[in-house]
Amino acid sequence: MKSHYYLTNRGRKRLTAAILIFFVLLGSVISACGRPMTTINSPLIATDTFISPTKGLEALSTLDPYRRVTAAQSFPAAYEIAKSWHRDAKWYGIIPFTSIERAFAIPLHNNNPSWFFRFGVPEDDREIIIEILNGQVVGTNETKIPGYIEPLLQDLEPLGDRWTMMDNVAVLERYLKEENSSLTRFPYMLIDYRLAMPKGYPHPLWTLYNAQDLTRPIFVIDAITGEVFRQ
């Protein structure tokens, strides 16, 4: 019997459609909860500063004018904190900063957004969000994001203990090659990111949003193969 890792063409088309519909509907719900953004402090509990071993790479161009450190560069610091929180913590991806805004009902910095890494221990029904800004851990919160804002942990697969996928820089490079890429027309558009692996799909997916218009994703790509999911 074939496993779900070897999908027929028909099955793959159905799964692709289901994934796109899921993220479009999720974006619509999030958009309905939207509000104007201003600058205030993070809702996560402040931590003692932890400097990532990749901190020195922050001067590299990221193609994202709002973030000086990439997602992959930020991962080691988040992973170390997660494992100190719980030795069995599993990594479930990256949450859009706009989802954090809505979950805590307060706006965040939008001139230099943080990366929000999601970890969990399903066996204990526990989750933690770890905030990384410019290579440093600046906040943590053991909390559950409501299912109407982000996919529930039970609907996702863990991503593993190492960064093995496309960085957000590579995703932006790929998106710029799209014929109708919004970034070619609006290079300073504020992008928001989700990285997650839905159950039933064998790889993590990057989903990009215009942070000022969350009604639907602007780009969805397989973070391992680079396959683009067109709407």
In a domain, 149, yes or no: yes
In a domain, 200, yes or no: yes
Instruction: Report residue 14's pLDDT band, with 50, 70 and 90 as the boundaries.
Output: low
> pTM here?
0.78
Q: For residue 170, give Cα distances in angstroms to 37, 64, 87, 177, 224.
A: 28, 11, 31, 11, 11
d(CA 100, CA 108): 8
Residue 104's nearest CA partner among 70, 67, 131, 68 is 131
The share of the chain scoring above pLDDT 90, in percent, equals 65
In a domain, 141, yes or no: yes
Total tally of structural domains belonging to the chain: 1
**Residues contacting 6, CB < 8 A, separation 6+:** none
Beta strands 191-198 and 126-133, pairing class: unpaired
Which residue matches tokens 């201003």?
A: 38
Each residue's pLDDT tens digit, 131-145: 999 999 999 999 999
Q: 182 lies in which domain range?
A: 9-222
Nearest-5° angle of CA 125, CA 130, CA 133? 170
Average pLDDT over residues 71-90: 97
Contact indicator for 211, 191 with CB cutoff of 8 Å? yes
**Residues contacting 104, CB < 8 A, separation 6+:** 43
Residue 129 has pLDDT above 80, yes or no: yes
In a domain, 4, yes or no: no
d(CA 172, CA 72): 14
In a domain, 17, yes or no: yes
In the chain, alpha helices (H): 9-32, 71-85, 97-104, 168-176, 182-185
Contact indicator for 61, 172 with CB cutoff of 8 Å? no
d(CA 170, CA 80): 24
Residue 51 has pLDDT above 60, yes or no: no
**Residues contacting 163, CB < 8 A, separation 6+:** 72, 75
Q: What is the DSSP letter of 46?
A: P
Residue 60 has pLDDT above 80, yes or no: no
Each residue's pLDDT tens digit, 94-124: 999 999 999 998 887 778 899 999 999 999 9
In a domain, 34, yes or no: yes
In a domain, 172, yes or no: yes
In a domain, 231, yes or no: no
